[in-house]
Chains A and B, each alone.
Chain A
């Protein structure tokens, strides 16, 4: 199967559609009153890293829900060259940013990495993450106490050719 050169319009729309629906679901997930702790505090957020779904992980890590924002620019490949090393970066024009985190929905544990952004540090991070399979990737930016998110689907294919 050869990859199409550019994503034709219909697929692009489906992707965006799916993304926004997912986030809506994310917004009003009724579950136990998770401890509304402050933004990622100094201690290593053990509990958040143990959550399976990204909704729970966001809830445990930030204690509040995110809303999609086009001010959060998430850059990730459409088809990952290799699921073990996927270059991902996020930048944002929001100000008073205190934290940036990445969630890989289809991984065994959704929370992949969480960064504390002290003031004076530019709100942008690039890193390389592992992805188990084709997945939704969510970047969360905490700015002035509110959560903003961007989502992108990354296709991950089985490695190896024959064998």
Chain B
């Protein structure tokens, strides 16, 4: 037990040294400027992968590897998330016990609005994600909330994403210091190293997209949430954004936080905002 942990930690540091080496940056003034951040973020990826079409970044690993893209396109003819999509459509129109449906909770009846989530609720002063809004809608109508990592939530968000397919991500940051703080907190979480592997989200998805970490081809961070929720062959099932965050944490050997805790809501806010303009491609299929 002891040797294994030390060797693991040692090898993590070797990997860390290699990754950290490429990331020396000058620290600029600390005024939060989401517009500039988004521009810099997008340009970083457009320059690092000049021959990837901008809208292709939302296809994650498939924008990085031709052979895998071909396998994906073959599967997209009759995708494995077909059942979750149909289940979501059915659930979306099945009335709650009090006769209301999800359509009553959402603008435009919940159709074609996914690209505006997550949004910042100035009354509550916090980020509201689509998954949280769906559960709040259930509770407001006397129904038990769904688990954030299980199939029911994935089916609902799959259907809502499907109705927004192709629409550019359109996240707004109101002129409210708490919204800027939430954006900054999401950015901090994205770049903070955690777990015994000592990786941050950026260690994999900014420094080495297209590379392999063990068997997985890493997706670029730009547009990484545009395809949510995703059917992963790895899980042979659907995965919500919450499930993806939780599993990513445990894979770096960090104990995950509760789904929909502030850090997760803020990092989803940050990642969605910097992907503004890129099309929604959910629900997606992934390795």
Contact = CB atoms under 8 A, between A and B. Distances in A.
Contacts of B67: 3, 77-79
B122 to A, nearest CB: 38
Interface residues of A, number: 22
Contacts, number: 66
A121 interface: no
Nearest to B232: A82
A82 B287 contact: yes
Contacts of B234: 82, 84, 159-160
B39 interface: no
A78 B67 CA distance: 8
A128 B214 CA distance: 23
A70 interface: no
Given A160-B214, A163-B251, A84 B68 contact: no
Interface in B185-223: 195, 197, 199, 204, 211-216, 218
Given A77-B70, A81-B72, A82-B234, A161 B214 contact: yes
27 contacts: A2-B211, A3-B67, A77-B70, A77-B71, A79-B67, A80-B71, A81-B71, A81-B233, A82-B233, A82-B234, A84-B233, A84-B236, A87-B74, A87-B75, A128-B75, A159-B215, A159-B216, A159-B234, A160-B214, A160-B216, A160-B234, A161-B204, A161-B213, A161-B215, A162-B195, A162-B199, A162-B213
Given A79-B68, A81-B233, 4 more contacts: A81-B287, A158-B214, A162-B253, A163-B251
